[in-house]
Amino acid sequence: MNTSDKTILQVQDISKTYATVRAVDDLSFEVYAGEIFGLLGPNGAGKTTTIRMALDIIKPDAGQIAVLGGPMTEAKKERIGYLPEERGLYDDMTLTDTLLFLGQLKGLSRTEAQRRVEGQLKEVELWEARERKVEALSRGMRQKAQFVAATMHDPDLIIVDEPFSGLDPVNTRLIKDLIYRMRDRGAGVIMSTHQMHQVEEMCGRILLVNHGKRVLYGPLAEIRQRFSANVVEVGLRGEPVTVPGVEQITAVENGSYRLLLEEGVPPEEVLQALVHAPELVVERFEHVETSLDEIFIRVVGRSIEEEGSLEEDQAVPAGGVRI
């Protein structure tokens, strides 16, 4: 595999099957140093399996993974941070002891781990709770503690799975700033989340997987632009029922509608159709940028529809004939 200096994770044609379920299907992508990369997909799409393969927790059935310039080694594990979706720390241990233990597992000396634990606990406002047992911490406190555990060793690649779940807006801002800081010092951050507005705000590039397959991949701005090309928002007097060249009409607010154009239909053609419709008066007609939320629903929804139609196609009754 050829990896550029900037590439810290290169995944090439990996697949993984559990019994009869193909969790990851011929998936390829790259993550670069100094970026926040969004790993998106509906529940059960294969995101966690992909992350676990990247971390060498499980082996792919096929394909190759290069981490920090080559195959995973024990030394490289110390340059990786991971905040798993399944949150967990040692309930019976104090917060400090837990973090010291996890920091030393990542190769820090005890003295260095102590220094960093103190600094980071103060930063995330957990210093006062340092001698408390983990089981006595609130959900938000545990979440922050686990974030510290995943990042205290200054990893070059950090994978965070739903980093903001259970956090209030203040703590969300705190963690977000820490992620930006890691990116700014040159670390590559893979962020898996269902909070699309966070992805829009933070990620430069994204990968959307569904049923283990790559559905969307690339710079977020380009993807949004591509999906925005056939979406217009119009201000109308009157209610549009059907418009030639329009696939879907969604009422946004009073007198405002979002139109999804059929593929290949230029917006000017739709404007003309609206202007010439006798019962409608066009007050406003503008291009809008599609939100990632909409893109997600459209892409994943289409994929589900396709799957449904495929299943229907395949469901030929015995002795029946498909026309």
Q: What minimum distance in Å lies between the beta carbon of 114 and another protein? A: 14
Output 82 or 257, the one with its CB closest to another protein. Answer: 82
Q: What minimum distance in Å lies between the beta carbon of 100 and another protein? A: 9
Output 75 or 241, the one with its CB closest to another protein. Answer: 75
Output 105 or 310, the one with its CB closest to another protein. Answer: 105
The site for another protein (CB under 8 A) is made up of 52, 55, 57-58, 74, 77-78, 80, 82, 84, 86-93, 97, 101-102, 104-106, 146, 149-150
Output 12 or 104, the one with its CB closest to another protein. Answer: 104
**Angle between helical axes of 292-314 and 220-228 (0-180°, round to 10):** 70
Q: Are 15 and 49 in contact (CB under 8 A)?
A: no
Output 22 or 224, the one with its CB closest to another protein. Answer: 22
Three-state DSSP state, 92: coil
Q: What minimum distance in Å lies between the beta carbon of 78 and another protein? A: 7
Return contacts of 241-249, CB within 8 angstroms, 24+ apart.
243/270, 243/273, 243/274, 243/277, 244/269, 244/270, 244/273, 245/269, 245/270, 245/273, 246/270
Tokens standing for residue 274: 């609206």
Q: Are 8 and 65 in contact (CB under 8 A)?
A: no
**Angle between helical axes of 139-151 and 169-184 (0-180°, round to 10):** 0
Q: Are 204 and 35 in contact (CB under 8 A)?
A: yes
Q: What minimum distance in Å lies between the beta carbon of 83 and another protein? A: 8
Q: Are 80 and 156 in contact (CB under 8 A)?
A: yes
Strand pairing report for 231-237 and 188-192: unpaired
Q: What minimum distance in Å lies between the beta carbon of 88 and another protein? A: 2
Output 100 or 295, the one with its CB closest to another protein. Answer: 100
Closest of 271, 288, 79, 265 to residue 186, by C-alpha: 79
Output 149 or 274, the one with its CB closest to another protein. Answer: 149
CA atoms within 13 A on the CB side of 212: 15
Output 38 or 103, the one with its CB closest to another protein. Answer: 103
Alpha helices in the chain (DSSP H): 47-54, 74-77, 95-105, 110-123, 139-151, 169-184, 196-202, 220-228, 267-276, 292-314
Q: What minimum distance in Å lies between the beta carbon of 87 and another protein? A: 6
Q: What minimum distance in Å lies between the beta carbon of 188 and another protein? A: 16
Rounded to whole angstroms, the Cα distance separating 156 from 165 reads: 23
